[in-house]
Structures are given as C-alpha cells and as structure tokens.
Amino acid sequence: MSHITYPEFVAAIDTSGLTCPLPLLRTKKALQTVESGQVLKVLTTDPSAVGDFQAFAKQTGHIILLQAPVTEGMVHFIQKR
C-alpha cells in the first residue's frame, strides 16, 4: 500500500459542502494572503473542483502540487506563483 506524502503548507481552507464557483473564489481570496512560492491546502467536496482547480492553475500560473482523495473529499495543494 502506497503512502502519500503531502507537501508542506502555510495556510489551509476548508470549502467542504460548497459548490462551484465558491471553492475557487475562496481559494483565490486565500492565495492573496500567502507569499509567492508558498503552498495553500484546500479541502473540497465538490466533484467538479479537480477540473476547476486545474483550469484555474493553467490560467493563473499557480502550480498544483497534488490533488488527492481523502475521507472528507479531495485535498488540493496549490503553490502560489
């Protein structure tokens, strides 16, 4: 059984129960509070969040370090550009 090592992060937000576009809007706001190169951890339960975050990263230049399923939904680690 493989073990996932999560990236270090400086801030975390929980958007569980929220649907598109709210997880993305909360993420954009949270990214404004961290420095370039720092990592934000985001917890989501919206199934469309995986694709939404990938498109967001492509448009903004932020880097998705990891998207992984967790018991509560999905966890996303986004490094600010």
What is the architecture, at CATH level 2, of domain 11-79?
Answer: 2-Layer Sandwich (3.30)
Tens-binned pLDDT, residue by residue, of the chain (81 aa)? 457 789 999 999 999 999 999 999 999 999 999 999 999 999 999 999 999 999 999 999 999 999 999 998 999 999 999
Amino acid at 53: F
Report the predicted TM-score, pTM, of the whole model to 2 decimal places.
0.94
Whole-angstrom distance, CA of residue 11 vs CA of residue 31: 9
Domain boundaries, the chain: 11-79
Known catalytic residues? 20
Give me the pLDDT at residue 4, please. 79
In three-state form (DSSP H/G/I as H, E/B as E, the rest C), the secondary structure along 5-33 is CCCCCCEEEECCCCCCCHHHHHHHHHHCC
